[in-house]
Amino acid sequence: MSHPHDRIRAWWDADADVYDDAAGHALSDPVEAAAWRRVLEGTLPPAPARVLDAGTGTGSLALAAAELGHDVTGVDLSEGMLDRARAKATERGVDIVLVHGPAEDPPTGPFDAVIERHVLWTIPDPVAALISWRAVTVPGGRLVLLEGSWGGEGPFVGAADMVARVVERAYGLHDHHHATYPQDLSLPLQGSHDPGPFVAAAEAAGWERIRIARLRDVEWTIERRQPWPLGPLTRRPRYAIIADAPR
């Protein structure tokens, strides 16, 4: 029987060819990139800090952190995604360390901060992952979870999603990924409607002083890149959950 990591790795390897095409993924839009840099400035320790980007994917956030002066290591299960990250780092002349492996089995560090973006919901045991990240973080170090309410919020989300699918077909747009994510995996945070489960997971993993910030500027920059009216129809609340490792 194959390990869930094998299926997850294969899915993301296949997705590497299209992942950066979607708004909110590659940070190729200057305004969107500027919004994300502001998020990192407001959540990471002062540069230069040793930062682990868990589940770095095509390296967009790792590169942004490195350009802000941090010493960045990215780890990812997908070699296809890491190939994209390496190419972007070379093209931009940015020095980052890229490690092939599961996000929940990080390099030993130690790190001053661990960041992840849109990764924790894909992990079968998010609490175990958060514990492993705490283990490689210095006492008093930082955790930054950059996630969203992927299930949407409010009573009209389902109707908005139906309209959005009609509009996407009219525009001839494909999905943000190459295929639907495997539906038979047990992923506790998949389709979360609010940040509560992420906060609870961080607390269960022993992180302290948990606080949260809504990323409205990021939401706006992603929305503005969509053809009307897809932006408002597909907007999802995004937030940063910040916590500290015990001293």
pLDDT at 3 over 70: no
The share of the chain scoring above pLDDT 90, in percent, equals 62
pLDDT at 110 over 70: yes
- Band of residue 57 on the pLDDT scale cut at 50, 70, 90: very high
Residue 118 near residue 190, CB atoms below 8 Å: no
- Third-level CATH fold of 4-244: Rossmann fold (3.40.50)
Instruction: Give the Cα-Cα-Cα angle 90, 76, 148 (nearest 5 degrees).
Output: 105
- Band of residue 62 on the pLDDT scale cut at 50, 70, 90: very high
> Pairing relation of β-strands 208-214 and 238-244?
antiparallel
pLDDT in tens, 30-49: 999 999 999 999 999 999 99
**Predicted TM-score (pTM) of this structure:** 0.89
The phi and psi torsions of 178 (rounded to 5 degrees) equal -75, -20
| Beta-carbon contacts of residue 137 (< 8 Å; ≥ 6 apart) | 52, 109, 110, 111, 112, 113, 114, 143, 245
Give the residue among 55, 44, 50 at the shortest CA–CA distance from 104.
55
The share of the chain scoring above pLDDT 70, in percent, equals 91
Q: Which of 20-24, 53-57, 82-86, 119-123 has the lowest mean pLDDT?
A: 20-24
Q: Look at residue 176 in the predicted model and tell me its pLDDT.
A: 67
- 8 compared with 36, residue with greater pLDDT: 36
Q: Which of 118-132, 153-167, 200-214 has the lowest mean pLDDT?
A: 153-167
Highest mean pLDDT among 43-47, 151-155, 185-189: 43-47
pLDDT in tens, 70-89: 999 999 999 999 999 999 99
Q: How far is CA 13 from the centre of its chain?
A: 16
Strands (E), 31-110: 50-54, 71-76, 97-100
Q: Look at residue 9 in the predicted model and tell me its pLDDT.
A: 81
- 6 compared with 55, residue with greater pLDDT: 55
| Maximum separation of any 2 CA atoms in the chain, in Å | 54
Angle between helices 30-43 and 60-67 (to 10 degrees): 70
- 176 compared with 42, residue with greater pLDDT: 42
pLDDT at 179 over 70: no
* Alpha carbons 163 and 228: distance in angstroms, whole number: 12
pLDDT in tens, 114-138: 999 999 999 999 999 999 999 999 9
**Domain parsing of the chain, residue ranges:** 4-244
Q: Look at residue 1 in the predicted model and tell me its pLDDT.
A: 43
